[in-house]
Structure 1
């Protein structure tokens, strides 16, 4: 069950991160950014999840997705 909530948080984080950073991405890319960003943010901000609960997980997922978008734009292939 935690995996499903992790994926749902990742999808929401990907959507919010792509909107906040003004990225025009298709749905699978948005989902992938959110899920992988949630993994990154979850690993980096794990201690906040224990302290502040689910809201910290969402914040960490959004920050992780934004970091992934930044890395993708900086080091990834340009269109």
Structure 2
């Protein structure tokens, strides 16, 4: 089922991409463009989400450390 879904989404994405870029292609080429574009775009998007997730973890740790230092200076010292 995921293969069929990839083909349908790839066909739709390829159709839209070829129309936006004003490229006249046959149906198999349009589907191939969409499927390979989905693989490339999906990989890049996963990499972006992973890297932003790591950066968000660092920012969260930094803010938590700042809060802990503030609490320590305010209430313990």
TM-score interval, normalised by the smaller of the two chains: 0.5 to 0.7
In structure 1, the partner of 2:13 is 13
In structure 2, the partner of 1:25 is 25
SS at match of 2:25: coil
Rg: which structure is higher?
2
Spell out the pairing of 1:48-67 with structure 2 (5 A cutoff): none
Q: 1-side partners of 2:24 and 2:10: how far apart?
A: 17
Q: 2-side partners of 1:17 and 1:38: how far apart?
A: 11
C-alpha deviation, 1:29, in angstroms = 0.7
Q: After the TM superposition, which parts of structure 1 deviate over 4 Å for at least 4 consecutive aligned residues? A: none
Q: How many residues align?
A: 47
C-alpha deviation, 1:23, in angstroms = 0.2
**Which deviations, in whole Å up to 9, do the C-alpha atoms of 1:1-38 show, x marking residues without a partner?**
33322221111100000000000111111111111111
Query: 5+ unaligned residues in a row in structure 1: which ranges?
Result: 48-79
- Which of the pair is proportionally richer in helix? 2
Q: Compute the TM-score of the two structures, normalised by the length of structure 2.
A: 0.54
Higher relative contact order (CA 8 A, sep 6+): 1
